[in-house]
Structure 1
Amino acid sequence: MRLLILGGTGPCGLQLIEQALALNHTLVLYLRSPQKLPETITKNPAVHVVEGQLTDKEKLLEAMDGVHAVLSALGPAVKNGPFHPGNTPLAQAYVLLIDVMKQRNVKRLLLLGTASMKDEHDKFSVQFTLLVSGVAVFAHNAYKDVVAIGQTVRAAEEDLIWTIARVPILTEKPEKDFVAGYVGDGKIGTRLSRAAFAAFMLKELESNEWCRKAPLISSP
């Protein structure tokens, strides 16, 4: 497939790129700072780089040409913590992205989310209540943006086939095994390797098991 990847310079995005290339996908990387990626990626013949901002509709339209699906690893930068902008910039980017996808007739969107995006299938969990409450208090603007992303995607027209891969605390472990479910279901934990996040995204791209759903993914 020809895949458009957003957030490719972050640690989750790098995992997506590397695993997608290993599966012989052709990639379009939409990047604000292409120089952050190693030349082993940017010079790969299966990779096409488009430089642009998340607010640049014309550049997004260019990047979306001929794409079969969009995979997004966009999320608030951890280093920004409480200094994330208060105007929900990522949610606004998804509004534009979904509009561009519609114009280019691209219907499949898989994206990174967190447990802050509540789901009707979630049950009570002390661990996740504490995790989400901590983010809401100490990184409120980031929390607000993430919640708004979920609302934006869920409100999209029915022809958009989305999957939100909600993640707990991310780790650098190399294991790619994962379980998918919902908060409080007895099988979901509070840790997930970034490698396993990417593995879930690429498996879901093929299986379409979680269309228009927002499972929480964790390591077994």
Structure 2
Amino acid sequence: MALNILVLGGTGPTGLALINESITRKHHVIIFARSPQKIPQEISSHPSVVIVTGSLEDEEAIERAFTDPTYIKIDAVISALGPPVMGIHPSGHPIAKGYARVARIGKEYGVSRFIVLGTASITDELDHFDARFKALVLGVQTFAPHAYEDMVQIGKLFNILNDTDWTIARVPVLIQHKENEGPYHAGYIYIGDGHTTTWLSRPRFANFVLDEVETPKWIRKRPLISMS
């Protein structure tokens, strides 16, 4: 059955992977984008795609995304929003604050399913110590403190959204597609399990997110997604 999916962060490479995977699976896609001109023409002109222009600071625009007349109701919100690959992440937890607005407005329209990108900066009680991930997080904390703080705040935000069916899909280092890559592994940080690695391709991230949209297995959980 085709679902109506609202995509945040859809103009970057990870967001485009989410959109392409959604289209491939015959879902309807509402793209909420600050800069819609960045969306490739083959996506923006696709009959299953609607674009709503706006930012996470603009509550009226967010509401338009949930009430676009093309589709009756949003079934799930998925997000590839994360710290910029290049440049400085702004202070003040902009992504976490944006998610708070989206969750509040979404609740008004009966939307409770959220699957968002996270990183290992968001910890989970089921994680084990892993020097590789400790080094990754320490590097971000040292050289990109605002990005680290925003991620930590995202984790705290969803912890208190008791009426939201959220999943934080934590990712290691994201890369483009590699030939002959295997399937993704979803679990927790654990060295020596033979599965958890420190990298993940964007298409495999999209595979996990859409699998989770269609068949939820990780509601109110924070799995780490990596290549196995």
Structure-1-length-normalised TM-score: 0.96
Asked whether the equivalents of residues 197 and 226 of structure 2 are also in contact (C-alpha less than 8 Å), the reply is yes
* 1:194 counterpart = 2:194: no
Counterpart-to-counterpart distance in 1, 2:152 and 2:84: 15
Cα deviations by residue, 1:48-84 (Å, 9 ceiling, x for unpaired): 000001111111111113111000111111112xx21
Counterpart-to-counterpart distance in 2, 1:40 and 1:24: 15
- Aligned residue among 37, 48, 57 for 1:55: 57
Counterpart-to-counterpart distance in 2, 1:91 and 1:122: 22
Counterpart-to-counterpart distance in 2, 1:44 and 1:77: 27
| Counterpart in the other structure of 1:131 | 136
* 1:213 counterpart = 2:218: no
Runs of 5+ in structure 1 lacking a partner?
A: none
> 4+ runs of 1 displaced by more than 3 Å?
none
| Counterpart in the other structure of 1:94 | 99
Counterpart-to-counterpart distance in 2, 1:54 and 1:43: 24
Count of residue correspondences: 217
Counterpart-to-counterpart distance in 1, 2:50 and 2:159: 29
Asked whether the equivalents of residues 176 and 193 of structure 1 are also in contact (C-alpha less than 8 Å), the reply is no
Counterpart-to-counterpart distance in 2, 1:154 and 1:207: 22
* 1:67 counterpart = 2:69: no
Taking a change above 3 Å as real, the CA distance of residues 2 and 176 of structure 1, as seen in their structure-2 partners, is farther
For the residue of structure 2 that corresponds to 1:106, the secondary structure is: coil
- Aligned residue among 167, 171, 174 for 1:170: 174
For the residue of structure 2 that corresponds to 1:59, the secondary structure is: helix
| Counterpart in the other structure of 2:112 | 107
For residue 107 of structure 1, report the CA deviation from its aligned partner: 1.1
- Aligned residue among 143, 161, 169 for 2:165: 161
| Counterpart in the other structure of 1:151 | 156
For residue 176 of structure 1, report the CA deviation from its aligned partner: 6.6
The residue type paired with residue 158 of structure 2 is V
Taking a change above 3 Å as real, the CA distance of residues 190 and 167 of structure 1, as seen in their structure-2 partners, is same
For the residue of structure 1 that corresponds to 2:86, the secondary structure is: helix
Asked whether the equivalents of residues 109 and 160 of structure 1 are also in contact (C-alpha less than 8 Å), the reply is yes
Counterpart-to-counterpart distance in 1, 2:54 and 2:21: 23
Any residues of structure 2 matched to 1:66-85 within 5 Å, and which?
66-80=73-87, 83-85=88-90
Tell me the percent identity.
Answer: 44
Runs of 5+ in structure 2 lacking a partner?
A: 68-72
| Counterpart in the other structure of 1:118 | 123
Counterpart-to-counterpart distance in 1, 2:30 and 2:132: 38
